[in-house]
Structure 1
Amino acid sequence: MISGVDTGEILGERYRVLQGLGKGRWGMTYLAEEIPVSKDRYVIQVFTFPIPSPEQKSDLQHQITQEAELLKNLDHPQIARFRDWFISETADYWVLYWVSDYVSGQSLRLLQQGRWVQQRGFEKREIVQLLSQLLPVLHYLHYHGVIHRNLSPNHILIRQQDSLPVLVDLGGIQQIIANQLNLNQPRSVVMVGQVGYAPPEQLQKGIIFTYSDLYALAAVLLVLLTGQPPEVLLNRETGNWEWQQFTRFTPKLQGIFTKMLAKRPGDRFQNAYDVMQMLQDQPTPPPPPRRGEQGEGKGEKSQKEGEKSPTARSSASLSPRQNSKSLKRSGMRLLTVLSQSVLVLGFVLAAGAVGWWVGDYWLTHQIASDSDVLTDWDDVPVVTPEPLEENWTPENLSFPLTDDPEPDPDESLPLLEQERKLGIRQRRLNLTIDYEFFQQLVQQQFLAQYPERRGRRLSNSAEDMIWRDRWDETATQVLDQLGFLSGEARRGLGSYRRRDRERWETEVQRLDLSPRVLYELTDRAFLQRFPEQKDRQFLNEPIGQVWNAIALDTLRALRSGSALQRVSLGTQENNTQLDGELNPGQGQVFLLRLEENQRLSINALTNRAVSLSLYAPNGQALLSGSDERAWSDTVRRTGLYEIVLLSRSAQPLNYRLSIKVETP
Structure 2
Amino acid sequence: MPSPIPLDTLLHNRYRIIEALRQGDYGWAYVAEDLKRSHERCVLEEFIPLKTDDLDALRERFQQEVSLLAELHHPQIPRFRVMIVHPAFADEPDRRLFGVRDYVDGYTYRALLNQRLAQGYVFSETEVLNLLLKVLPVLSDLHAHEIIHQNLNLDSIVLRSSDQLPVLIQFGLVRDVALTLQLTSHSKVGNWGYAPLEQRLSDRVARDSDFYALAAIAVVLLTGREPEELYDDKTQRWSWQEWAIVSPQFAQVLERMLSPNPARRYSTPGKVAQALRRLAVKDQEKHSNSKIQTSKSKKSKVTQTSASELPEPRILQDLSFLILVSVFFGLTGIASWRILSLLKPEPSGTTAAQNFSPSENNEDEQKTQESLRDDRKRLGISFNVFTDLVDELFYAQHPQLQNRSLDTDPKANQFRAEWNALAKTVLKKLETLSQEARSNLGRYNRASYNGWLTEVNQLKVSGRSLSTLTDARFSYLFPQQRQPLNPRKFGQVWYAIAHDQVSAFRDKSALKRISTQPFNDQDTLKPGQGKVYVVRVNQGQTLQVALKAPDRATQLSIFPFPEAPPLLQNSSGQSWSTKINKTGSYELVIASQATESIGYQIYVKLGS
TM-score class normalised by the smaller sequence: 0.3 to 0.5
Which protein is bigger by CA-based radius of gyration?
Answer: 1
Could you tell me the TM-score, scaled by structure 1's length? Answer: 0.41
Normalising to structure 2: TM-score of the pair? 0.44
